[in-house]
Structure 1
Amino acid sequence: MERVWERRDVIRVLIADDEPLIRAGIKVILTSADDIDVVAEAANGREAVEAVRAHRADVVLLDIQMPVMDGLAALPELRRAAPGTRVLILTTFGEQENVLRALSGGSVGFLLKDSAPAELIRAVRAAAAGDAYLSPGATRHVVDSLTTGGTLAHRTEEARRLLATLSGREREILALLGEGLSNADTAQRLHMSEGTVKNYVSRVLTKLNCDNRVQAALLARDAGLKPEGA
């Protein structure tokens, strides 16, 4: 009997968006990569939950604004139905509050719908590898648009106290993270490997007690931390 080989190195993706043209465009981009397959599509959050149960997706691209059940409502159900599946939120500018709710709800990051094709592929690969991915083009916009509680002086003092626990290199990494640079861009800027930058970012998030890159970027902003030469 002929043996059937399973391509375990291929990333299985579910696209959940209520706009057929958006789904079609994302599918064309993703399937152009040899290591990515789009195994299912959904037009709303309820369909996404049903599809993730039927298909062993590694990554779900989840729109926020959908009928029947929106992305924020679907997120916890997706995590219960498929705990090992990583969820990336598809978003647009102007949804900062929703982005933070999605991050706190267990998504691994967010991606702008008008992102470049290469960034879309990079985000899916990062999510499948277990990394968080926050669109560099949106991170700075979200940080600049958020209003945090407390007085400016208090936030600055607290942020500087936390940043004092970082090494010089960790502060350098955080400054670039605060500018919205991806791990790959940071690695290129500092002439380091992307894996090394990833390790530094993980350490920085742990030391600062941050759940994600946006929270760390907020601290960098409050502390007035800027990259050298900025």
Structure 2
Amino acid sequence: MSINPAPRPAASHRSLRALIVEDDPLFATVYKETLASAAPGIQIELAANGYLALMSLKTHLPDLIVLDLHMPGLDGVAFLSILKRKDCLLEVPVFVVSSADAEVMAPLRALPHVHVFAKPIRPALLRQLARQTLAESIDQRTSQDEPRHLLHSKLTAFVGGNPALQREIARQFYELTPDRIARLEHCVQQRDLHSLREWCHTLIGTSSMIGAQNLYDQVNTLRDYVDAKDADGIVRQVAAIATELRQIAVMLANEFDLYDEKS
């Protein structure tokens, strides 16, 4: 499908715009409210699939796109392949938020200005990401020669990037760790292989975000055991992942002094 994107209005006369491409009304509403709080006055359009998103691009060019992958009709992967062929759209930042398999997500990280996150993303984190990216969009208007420093999806908790964002990622991981371990262990007790697969998707995205390679490898091993329906292997691997999650949580809490924070 070909598209002829709308011309970009003069920088000084254009409001910030965002496009949310998500077929689940609940997630779409959460994203819309989060972006609105991140940038008061921003104009937000919703599209339930890639085709409707492309139609929107014919009339308005966004400063940010939040994109799901699994959608009816034209899905997120197909939408991205079309989007990134257009020079005028190449630098539009895209936040892919999905629970898709690692094999689907990994190639997307190589695309320019595409940042991949596990679904669900915490609203506070999305708000911080949006503020940073939209602020850079405003700066870009005043100086077209100034390079854009968009957040990379593989930011670790210790190296590079925005300190406030690093702290938010660390806090999210630390607070969610006990619940994640409990849910994993419950899935094992109930022999719920479907839910275990879903947790593998989530934890792979999380480990990629914080740069936890050991956790990433352990979760991939768990997925292999789940696919093979190896009950003993699943029990051993979930125990190993629980230990790794606790160790990372303690490390992040020490690094960012999270113990004294009030919930």
Please state how far the C-alpha of 1:119 moved relative to its aligned partner: 0.8
Confirm whether residue 97 of structure 1 aligns to residue 103 of structure 2.
Answer: yes
CA distance 1:183–1:91, shift in 2 (3 Å): farther
Confirm whether residue 66 of structure 1 aligns to residue 71 of structure 2.
Answer: yes
Counterpart selection for 2:29 from 20, 24, 27: 24
Q: 2:81, 2:117 → 1: CA distance? A: 19
Q: 1:97, 1:220 → 2: CA distance? A: 18
1:40 partner SS: strand
Counterpart selection for 2:158 from 156, 176, 190: 176
Calculate the TM-score normalised by the size of structure 2: 0.48
CA distance 1:15–1:177, shift in 2 (3 Å): same
For the 8 Å contact 2:156–2:166, the answer to whether it is kept is: no
CA distance 1:97–1:11, shift in 2 (3 Å): farther
| Aligned partner letter, 1:103 | R
For the 8 Å contact 2:28–2:46, the answer to whether it is kept is: yes
Please state how far the C-alpha of 1:41 moved relative to its aligned partner: 1.1
| Aligned partner letter, 2:91 | G
Please state how far the C-alpha of 1:65 moved relative to its aligned partner: 0.6
Higher helix share: 2
Counterpart selection for 1:44 from 37, 49, 57: 49
Please state how far the C-alpha of 1:12 moved relative to its aligned partner: 1.5
1:60 partner SS: strand
| Aligned partner letter, 1:88 | F
CA distance 1:43–1:221, shift in 2 (3 Å): closer
Q: Per-residue displacement from partner, 1:13-69 (whole Å, max 9, x unpaired)?
A: 100011122212211222123446243111111111221232120111010111111
- Corresponding residue for residue 93 of structure 2: 86
CA distance 1:95–1:177, shift in 2 (3 Å): farther
- Corresponding residue for residue 132 of structure 1: 151
Please state how far the C-alpha of 1:7 moved relative to its aligned partner: 6.5
Which structure is larger by alpha-carbon Rg, 1 or 2?
2
For the 8 Å contact 2:20–2:45, the answer to whether it is kept is: yes
Q: Per-residue displacement from partner, 1:146-197 (whole Å, max 9, x unpaired)?
A: xxxxxxxxxxxxxxxxxxxxxxxxxxx978259xx96435589xxxxxxxxx
For the 8 Å contact 1:12–1:38, the answer to whether it is kept is: yes
Q: 1:59, 1:53 → 2: CA distance? A: 15
| Aligned partner letter, 1:176 | F
CA distance 1:185–1:86, shift in 2 (3 Å): closer
Q: 1:116, 1:63 → 2: CA distance? A: 15
1:106 partner SS: coil
- TM alignment of 1:196-211, pairs within 5 A: none
Q: 1:30, 1:174 → 2: CA distance? A: 24
Q: 2:115, 2:210 → 1: CA distance? A: 14
- Corresponding residue for residue 204 of structure 2: none
Identity level (%)? 25
Alignment length (residue pairs) = 158
| Aligned partner letter, 2:124 | A
CA distance 1:69–1:62, shift in 2 (3 Å): same
Structure 1 unaligned segments of length 5 or more: list them: 140-172, 189-212
For the 8 Å contact 1:30–1:38, the answer to whether it is kept is: no
Structure 2 unaligned segments of length 5 or more: list them: 1-10, 137-147, 169-206, 217-247, 256-263
Confirm whether residue 13 of structure 1 aligns to residue 18 of structure 2.
Answer: yes
